[in-house]
Amino acid sequence: MPSFRIDPPVMDMACAHEEIFFDTPHQGKIHALLLFAEQPRGIVFYLHGNTGNLGRWKFMAEEISRYGFHVLAMDYRGYGNSKGNRSEKIMHDDAFHCCREIQKRFPQLPVIVYGRSFGTGFAVNLASKLPVNRLVLETPFLHLLDVAKTYFPFLPMRVLLRYSFRSDQLISKVNCPVLILHGTKDRIVPYRSALQLFHCASKDQNVDMVTIPGGRHNNLNAYPLFVDTLRNFLRF
């Protein structure tokens, strides 16, 4: 559910920031926003949800920067000012390319990949292939078919879906510490789906799941448990 028009303007922010356009493979031009912390302890690569664009998600990126990190947030192709033909592989390649670029720009800083809802499908794939320091999954899903069948159990979604985002097959390949955050009252991505993803991790991995009782899809950051858990996980 992308939004093409960025309103309010992306650059209308209180913190120091820079607007970036990445030329990615497959003739892509990816619009991103880099937010600066005064004394950064690392850089967070933020992969946002399926609705809107950076005009909306810049506020969540700014909130994360207050934990003491630079934050790079990108728009997917077809979102905001990001351009190019879409496929699942192409969009994964875009995320991979942008993450490599920030690793080159800040080689001395640890990199945290942070996926939010739809963005967790990119985040798990990315962390399974690139050496990163932490992976945060906020309201993740097992795979996209699992969510689709929740909404449309009477349709042949396995045939209709163009994208799969098989986080269930990839999470066991992630080598860094992983934090999963999900609320029990999430009506967009069922809590059950995140719990199943957690159980797909192998026992020798450092994967933790924190349940937010009563938490919904878009309000976890209002819970002290969420804030304290995230702060502790990013303290390294």
Q: What are the pLDDT digits (tens) for 83-134?
A: 999 999 999 999 999 999 999 999 999 999 999 999 999 999 999 999 999 9
Start-end ranges of CATH 3.40.50.1820 in the chain? 1-109, 134-236
Rounded to whole angstroms, the Cα distance separating 163 from 125 reads 13
Q: Which helix (H) or strand (E) holds 105?
A: helix 88-105
CATH architecture for segment(s) 1-109: 3-Layer(aba) Sandwich (3.40)
Share of the chain above pLDDT 70, in %: 89
In terms of phi and psi (left: phi > 0; alpha: psi -120 to 50; beta: otherwise), the region of 45 is beta
- pLDDT category at 62 given cuts 50, 70, 90 is confident
Token reading at 92? 């994964």
CB 95 within 8 A of CB 124: no
Sheet holding 134-138, edge to edge: 17-24, 28-35, 70-74, 43-47, 111-116, 134-138, 178-183, 207-212
Beta bridge partner(s), residue 143: none
Question: Which CATH number fits the domain 134-236, given the four candidates 3.30.70.2470, 3.10.440.10, 3.30.1330.10, 3.40.50.1820?
Answer: 3.40.50.1820
